[in-house]
Amino acid sequence: MLGNFTYCNPTKLYFGEEALGGLDAELAKVGANVVLIYGGGSIKKSGLYDEVLGKLQRAGKNVAEISGVMPNPTLDKLYEGIEIARAHKADFLLAVGGGSVCDYAKAVAVSVHCDEDPWEKYFARFEEPDCEILPVGCVLTLAGTGSEMNAGSVITNTRTHQKVGHVFLDEMVMPRFAILNPRYTMTLPHYQMVAGIYDIFNHICEQYFSGTDDNTSDYIAEALMRSLIVSSRAANKNPQDYEARSNIMWTATWALNTLIAKGKSTDWMVHMLGQAVGAYTNATHGMTLAAVSLPYYRHIMPYGVAKFRRFAVNVWNVDAEGKTDEAVALEGLKAMEGWMRELGLAMNITELGATAEMIEKLADATFILKGGYKVLDRDEIVSIFKAAL
C-alpha cells in the first residue's frame, strides 16, 4: 500500500432474499418528494415495481417517475430527468434496475441543483459538484457494474458520439443505500448473465494488471476472481443456484467500489478498447470487453510478465514448476480463455458485428490510458483489434 490515499464508502447495503425490507427504514430518512427511476419495464413484469410503489405509498411519499432509462443512458434522457425532478421538487431519487439506471440516477442527483450544463461540467470538464446533491437509493436487479456502491456515472452524448464515464470523488454521490436481492437477478437471460459476469471479472483485471509492488489490494483482487470463477461456473450450470448468484452479486459490488484500487495504479485499457467496439456495434458492454481482452492481455504480457505469472498461479492454480515465467503466464491466459469459452462469452469482435473495415475508426475512437504495463501506440491498438477479429 504505497502512496497516500483516502477510502470512504458510506453506502449501506441490504443483502439477501429479504433485503427489500430495508427500504422502509431508508424511506423514513428522506423527504416526501420521491422520483422513481427505472428502465424498460421488466420490473413491472416481475412484480417488483408494485412492491416498491406500495412501500413508497405506505410511507406517504409523493411519487413522480422517470421510466425508459436505456442500457446506455443518453444526455437527452438526462435533460428530461432533470426537468422531471425539478418540477417534482425531488427530495430523493430511487433507482430500481441495473447499473445503467443507477448511473443515470446519480447523474440526475448532481444536476438538479446545478446551474451549469451537466455534460459540460461533469462529462467534459470532469468537475466535482458544488451544488446540493440529491440522495440516491438503489434496488438492484442485475449484478455487474458495481454502480450500487460507487460514485461513477456513464452518460452517452448521441450528438458527439461520446460515451463518457466520470467517477466522482465526493462520496455523497454514492448511493445512500442499495438493496441487493440475488433473486432479482435470476430472471436475466443467460447472455446477459454471462456478460455481467465478464464485466465483473474485467473490472477486477483492470485494477489488478498494473503496478509491481506487493499490495494487499492485489491479494483481495485475486480472491474476488477466484470466488467469481467458482460461482460463475455454478451459475452457468444452474442459473437458479442461489448461493452462486449471491456470491456473484456480492463480488460485483466489491469489484468496483474503490477498495481493490487502493494504494496502487490501475489499467482500464480493456474498457477503452471495448467501449470503442460498443460505440460502433452497439454490442452488450460485457461482451465487448470479453472480445478484446485476450488479444490485449497477450500483447501486454511481456511487459508485465511477473504479474501475469502470479495471475496464472494464484488465480488459475497453474503449476509453475520447471517452467519459464512466460510459459506460466501464457498458461494462465489459456486457462482464462477456457473459462470464457465455457461461459459462452464473445471471443472476437467479428461476432459482435465489427469488420476489418472498421478497424481504423475503432482505433480512432480508443482513448489511450497510461496505467497499464505498456502504454499503447496507435499501431499496437490496430494490431490488437486485428487480432480480435
The answer to whether 347 contacts a copy of itself (rule: CB under 8 A) is no
What character string, x for contact with a copy of itself (CB under 8 A) and - otherwise, covers 264-303?
----------------------------------------
234 contacts 244 by C-beta, under 8 angstroms: yes
What character string, x for contact with a copy of itself (CB under 8 A) and - otherwise, covers 75-94?
--------------------
Q: Taking the complex as a whole, how short is the minimal distance between the CB of residue 261 and a copy of itself, in angstroms?
A: 13
Q: Which residue has the cell 425532478?
A: 85
CA torsion sign for 362, 363, 367, 371 is: positive
Q: How far apart are CA 288 and CA 272, in angstroms?
A: 10
How do strand 152-157 and strand 162-167 relate by DSSP bridges? antiparallel
In 10 A of CB 78, how many CB atoms?
A: 24
Report the residue from 88, 113, 183, 262 that binds a copy of itself according to the rule CB under 8 A.
Answer: 262
The answer to whether 8 contacts a copy of itself (rule: CB under 8 A) is yes
Chain residues 176-235 in contact with a copy of itself, contact rule CB under 8 A: 182, 213-216, 219-224, 226-227, 230-231, 234
Which residue, 145 or 217, is less far from a copy of itself as judged by CB? 217
DSSP 70-133: -SS-BHHHHHHHHHHHHHTT-SEEEEEESHHHHHHHHHHHTTTT-SS-HIIIIIIS-PPP-S--
Q: Taking the complex as a whole, how short is the minimal distance between the CB of residue 264 and a copy of itself, in angstroms?
A: 11
Eight-state DSSP code of residue 355: -
In 10 A of CB 118, how many CB atoms?
A: 21
The answer to whether 333 contacts a copy of itself (rule: CB under 8 A) is no
Question: Is 137 strand, coil or helix?
Answer: strand
Q: Taking the complex as a whole, how short is the minimal distance between the CB of residue 252 and a copy of itself, in angstroms?
A: 10
Q: Taking the complex as a whole, how short is the minimal distance between the CB of residue 41 and a copy of itself, in angstroms?
A: 28
The answer to whether 359 contacts a copy of itself (rule: CB under 8 A) is no
Q: How far apart are CA 200 and CA 143, in angstroms?
A: 8
The answer to whether 238 contacts a copy of itself (rule: CB under 8 A) is no
Report the residue from 19, 354, 362, 381 that binds a copy of itself according to the rule CB under 8 A.
Answer: 19
The answer to whether 3 contacts a copy of itself (rule: CB under 8 A) is yes
Report the residue from 105, 249, 300, 343 that binds a copy of itself according to the rule CB under 8 A.
Answer: 249
Q: Which of 71, 52, 249 is nearest to 139 (CA)?
A: 52
Report the residue from 247, 281, 293, 366 that binds a copy of itself according to the rule CB under 8 A.
Answer: 247
Give burial (CB, 10 Å; 0-12/13-18/19+) of 61.
Answer: buried
Q: How far apart are CA 267 and CA 95, in angstroms?
A: 29
Q: Taking the complex as a whole, how short is the minimal distance between the CB of residue 88 and a copy of itself, in angstroms?
A: 28
The answer to whether 32 contacts a copy of itself (rule: CB under 8 A) is no
Plot region of 73 (φ>0 → left; ψ -120 to 50 → alpha; else → beta): beta
The answer to whether 17 contacts a copy of itself (rule: CB under 8 A) is yes
The answer to whether 14 contacts a copy of itself (rule: CB under 8 A) is yes
How do strand 92-97 and strand 136-140 relate by DSSP bridges? parallel
Q: What are phi and psi of 267, to 5 degrees?
A: -105, -80
The answer to whether 135 contacts a copy of itself (rule: CB under 8 A) is no
The answer to whether 242 contacts a copy of itself (rule: CB under 8 A) is yes
Query: What is the biggest distance separating any 2 CA atoms in the chain, rounded to whole angstroms?
Result: 69
The answer to whether 13 contacts a copy of itself (rule: CB under 8 A) is yes
Report the residue from 12, 298, 323, 374 that binds a copy of itself according to the rule CB under 8 A.
Answer: 12
Which residue, 241 or 331, is less far from a copy of itself as judged by CB? 241
Task: Write the CA distances from 330 to 132, 302, 323, 384, integer angstroms.
Answer: 50, 10, 11, 17
The answer to whether 131 contacts a copy of itself (rule: CB under 8 A) is no
Report the residue from 18, 115, 357, 377 that binds a copy of itself according to the rule CB under 8 A.
Answer: 18
User: What's the half-sphere exposure (Cβ side, CA atoms, 13 Å) at 50?
Assistant: 4
Q: Taking the complex as a whole, how short is the minimal distance between the CB of residue 224 and a copy of itself, in angstroms?
A: 7
Applying CB under 8 A, the residues found at the interface with a copy of itself are: 1-19, 22, 171, 182, 213-216, 219-224, 226-227, 230-231, 234, 242-244, 246-247, 249-251, 254, 262-263
